[in-house]
């Protein structure tokens, strides 16, 4: 048992630097104001780095909707960043659609909707600066021939008061 614990500890120690080197999203940590494309304030977000280069947690509030919890995970299995969030039947995962380290970061998934229909989602995360991000979520219900915006949020870093 001691050798298993030692092996596990060594694995964690030696994999942490590699994970940190492929980070890229840690700079999103902080408090954010969310606005629509015309600049109207929609809500707010707080993002925390849980493990540098590997895991971020976000709690987002838009309008009167309940807070939404989101995670960004630097997934070894998926070969890059994935977004995790609660779906109707458990945790839903948007996997990398863009090349590792490329911007914009594009994530997506083919999912079953509550209605029974199937759809493709595509979330594009664009970085204008460390204090300005855009998240565009789109849906396609025709096999990715056409896309419609679900939301188009701009995240602006909140100025500490």
Q: How confident is the model at residue 10 (pLDDT cuts 50, 70, 90)?
A: very low
The pLDDT of residue 161 is 53
* pLDDT, tens digit (0-9, with 9 covering 90-100), for 68-104: 999 999 999 999 999 999 887 789 999 999 998 889 9
Q: How far apart are CA 3 and CA 109, in angstroms?
A: 40
Sign of CA dihedral 93, 94, 99, 103: negative
Q: What residues are paired with 126 via a beta bridge? A: 134
Alpha-carbon radius of gyration of the chain: 17
Residue 113 belongs to what domain range?
2-157
Assigned token pair, 103:
């911007």
Query: Is pLDDT above 80 for 1?
Result: no
In this predicted structure, which of 2-6, 30-34, 108-112 has the lowest mean pLDDT? 2-6
How many H helices and E strands in the chain?
A: 1, 10
The pLDDT of residue 17 is 39
* Beta carbons within 10 angstroms of residue 113's beta carbon: 12
Number of domains in the chain: 1
What CATH number did the domain enclosing 127 receive?
2.40.128
């Amino acid at each position: 048992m001691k050798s298993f614990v030692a092996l596990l500890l060594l694995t964690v120690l030696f994999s942490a630097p590699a994970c940190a080197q492929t980070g890229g999203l840690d700079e999103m940590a902080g408090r954010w104001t969310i606005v629509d494309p015309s600049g109207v304030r929609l809500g707010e977000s707080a993002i925390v780095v849980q493990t540098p280069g590997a895991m971020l947690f976000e709690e987002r509030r838009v309008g009167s909707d309940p807070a939404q919890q989101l995670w960004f995970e630097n997934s070894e299995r998926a070969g890059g960043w994935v977004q995790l969030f609660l779906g109707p039947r458990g945790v839903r995962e948007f996997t990398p659609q863009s090349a590792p380290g490329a911007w914009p970061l594009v994530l997506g998934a083919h999912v079953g909707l509550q209605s029974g229909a199937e759809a493709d989602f595509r979330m594009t995360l664009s970085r204008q600066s460390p204090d300005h991000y855009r998240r565009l979520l789109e849906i396609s219900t025709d096999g990715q021939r056409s896309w419609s915006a679900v939301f188009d949020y701009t995240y602006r870093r909140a100025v500490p008061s």
